[in-house]
Amino acid sequence: MDLLLSSFDILARWDVLIALVVGSVGGVIIGAIPGVGAAVAIAILLPATFSLDPIVGLTALLGIYGSSMYGGAIPAVLVNTPGTAVNALTTYDGYPMTQRGEGRRALSLAYSASFFGGVFAVVCLIFLSPVLAAIAPHFGSREIFLASLLGIILVVLAHRGQILIAGALACFGIWLNTIGLEPIQYSKRYTFGQSWLSGGVDLIVVVLGLFAISQAIVLLVDKNRAPRTGTLSGDLFQGFKELLRHKRVASVSASFGVLMGMIPGVGEFTAQFMSYTAARRGSKTPELFGNGAPEGLIASEASNNAVPAAAMIPLLALGIPGEALTAMMLSVFYVHNVVPGPQLFQNQMDFVIALYIALLVLNVMVVIFLLFSTNLLLKIIQIPTRFLGIIILTLSFVGVYSLRNSTIDCAIAAGFGVFGFILKRLNLPIVPIILGMVLGGIMEAKLRTSMMRVKTPFDMIDRPIAFILFLLILVVLGSHAWRMWKDRNSTENQ
Amino acid sequence: MSAEPNKAKPGEMLFVGLLFVASAFLLSQIGEQAKFSAKGKLFAQPAFWPGVGVIGMVGFTGLHLLTHMRQRAKAGLGNEVVIWLRALEFVGWFMVYVVLVPRLGYLPSTVLFTFLLALRMGYRGPAMLGWAAASGVAIVVIFKTLLGVKIPGGALYEYLPDGLRNFMILNF
């Protein structure tokens, strides 16, 4: 009880509440605008929160992280354009419903399913906390190294059809992270005699380049588009009643979201795919899936909205991000002197619970905001894409330049902007670079620490959790090799 | 389903090829650019992790090139490269903006940048140009005036009268 009171005490400040409102409402708006997305917004706003208190900055960015997918459903349902990438599956059933004249019903279902997914995941997070608090201290250097290695392997293997290039980009991220002064022996690595490279390449500069500047260039180079939407009349509450009729689909989908969210490198897409498949299998009308099935819409939205809270589990308990947004959130924590990992659960449990409560409150705030302001958001969706590109490019400057007022940082970010633009043009993944940078740094530090305490490589896995993680790595690699072999055989037989 | 796609997008092989060449160059420089002493464990060597990175880059890009070598890429490489080069124009705009901010000041540079870029992007109506300029003002007010992000005052502000100069340096 004391813990809970202490957590409420952390949150019960006017600046935290404002941050929560700004973050959650801002996240919905950003999510609703196709071509922006939470990654761009967090990258741009991260440096702007440096001067704020940790809990204020964190709740604002957490608000954007947790609420953008709510907004992303609006253009997905009404104009067949997902607001964020993870709302793509929502278009399958949401847009056909709109075409049938059921746009209001589809949107209402999307809101209620998103709300259910978000709250379900936070509740899971709260109930898992004691378990995490008990397990997390057993994660020493070697376990965190192995978990990071597993994370990076999963991130690469998750890019089916692009595994080789995803591997190359993850290694590029690992290499990027090593540029500059090496922390133990203080020797320079890959600086090519340039003093401006001695400090290394800042993760935030890379993130801003790869996500924000590249997206601005995409929007500026592409043809101008301005989605046209009508207005919605009537209340949007009916979806909550309808969701009760599909509670099994919602619960199963949210559970997939939680499970997949917890595994580094897996994330929303796999959760949605599994939920959608399960919902179709269990449906009495599977033929409707892809043509406007309410269960399909619920599966997509409940699962994708359960992921952000669940992805906080490895991030908070172990300090291991599972995807790009959690990697950015890790930077957010570091910037605000909060170091996620086993120590956080032991020493600052009230802070952790305050974050959970913030996540819960933001879900309530977002759904209230959406129920009353959807028509306003429909106007925002209509902003022309090139105009958005101008705004994102202007905002990118604040993000990069405010870090340390460095023109060189801006030039590096611009370079990564072009690199990211080319990757986006070629449909190649960006996320492995970011995770390579973050997890590469963690792996280097943890391997070095753990190798000081082991005599033979086998000592690395002589503790139960380390052994389980090692087995998981073998299982993941083995199952991938088996799948490749099966694919090759089936191709040859054809 | 095969593990790798059947047909590369135009420009993909060129991009991966360039990445391979850059990675091979970085690998060739590892002896010069990272320390590797005879003493100490392999994992503790400063060159170990850069080595993991560049060897991985060379290996994965090399394998990608090998596995895709026989596949014919879709036509349109020239067009694709032209689109890549068009991105450089906006990098140019961005860098000019970066250079102008410490000279003209954050507010004038931002309004000028959003207004001129809107013109460049084909907006001619007073409404859109007005929105572009207003967005510039809003960005400055939100980030510098309200959130207090660290962006230095412009050199041009030095020519303003005393009271106004301080006000502009602090807020815009």
Question: How does pLDDT run along chain A (494 residues), one tens digit per residue?
Answer: 777 788 888 888 888 888 889 888 888 888 887 767 777 888 888 777 777 787 888 888 888 888 888 888 888 888 777 777 777 788 888 888 888 888 888 888 898 999 999 999 989 888 887 787 788 788 888 888 888 898 889 888 878 888 999 999 999 999 999 999 887 788 889 998 888 898 889 888 898 898 889 989 998 998 877 767 666 666 667 878 888 888 899 999 999 888 888 877 666 777 888 888 888 888 888 888 888 888 998 998 899 888 888 888 888 888 888 777 788 878 778 777 778 877 787 778 888 888 888 888 888 988 888 888 877 777 777 788 899 899 989 988 988 888 888 899 999 999 999 999 999 999 898 888 988 998 888 888 888 888 877 777 788 888 888 899 899 999 989 998 998 888 888 877 76
> Range with the lowest mean pLDDT among A418-427, B7-16, B67-76?
B67-76
d(CA A232, CA A218): 31
**The predicted structure's pLDDT at residue B22:** 95
Q: How far is A100 from chain B (nearest CA, A)?
A: 34
**The predicted structure's pLDDT at residue A265:** 66
Residue A461 maps to a domain: no
Contact of A42 with A64, CB cutoff 8 Å: yes
Do A178 and B29 make contact, defined as CB atoms within 8 angstroms? Answer: no
**The predicted structure's pLDDT at residue A254:** 92
Residue A169 maps to a domain: no
Chain B residues whose beta carbon lies within 8 Å of the beta carbon of residue A391: 114, 135, 139
Nearest CB among A161, A170, A390 relative to B5 is that of A161
Do A386 and B122 make contact, defined as CB atoms within 8 angstroms? Answer: yes
Q: How far is A174 from chain B (nearest CA, A)?
A: 5
Percent of chain B with pLDDT over 90: 52
Could you tell me which residues come within 8 angstroms of residue A379 by beta carbon, excluding any fewer than 6 positions away? none
Residue B92 has pLDDT above 90, yes or no: yes
Nearest CB among A50, A163, A390 relative to B117 is that of A390
Chain A residues whose beta carbon lies within 8 Å of the beta carbon of residue B15: 422, 426, 428
Residue A457 maps to a domain: no
Residue A148 maps to a domain: no
For chains A and B, count residue pairs whose Cβ atoms are closer than 8 Å: 218
* Structural domain boundaries enclosing A276: 2-139+203-426
**Which of A398, A449, A456 is the best mutation test for B, with the most CBs of B within 10 A?**
A398
Bigger pLDDT: A374 vs B117: B117
Residue A177 maps to a domain: no
**Which of A56, A164, A400 is the best mutation test for B, with the most CBs of B within 10 A?**
A164
Q: How far is A448 from chain B (nearest CA, A)?
A: 6
Do A178 and B53 make contact, defined as CB atoms within 8 angstroms? Answer: yes
d(CA A240, CA B135): 37
**C-alpha neighbours within 13 Å on the C-beta side of residue A347:** 7
Domains: count for chain A = 1
Q: How far is A308 from chain B (nearest CA, A)?
A: 26
Residue B2 — very low, low, confident or very high, per pLDDT cuts 50/70/90? Answer: very low
Q: How far is B166 from chain A (nearest CA, A)?
A: 19
Sign of CA dihedral A342, A343, A347, A353: negative
Do A444 and B150 make contact, defined as CB atoms within 8 angstroms? Answer: no
Q: How far is B24 from chain A (nearest CA, A)?
A: 12
Residue B1 — very low, low, confident or very high, per pLDDT cuts 50/70/90? Answer: very low
Q: For residue A179, what is the nearest residue in chain B, using CA coordinates?
A: B50
Chain A residues whose beta carbon lies within 8 Å of the beta carbon of residue B98: 397, 401, 407, 410-411
**The predicted structure's pLDDT at residue B103:** 92
Residue A439 maps to a domain: no
**Which of B25, B112, B117 is the best mutation test for A, with the most CBs of A within 10 A?**
B117
Q: How far is B164 from chain A (nearest CA, A)?
A: 23
Nearest CB among B34, B46, B87 relative to A217 is that of B87
Residue B7 — very low, low, confident or very high, per pLDDT cuts 50/70/90? Answer: low
Chain B residues whose beta carbon lies within 8 Å of the beta carbon of residue A48: 143, 147, 149
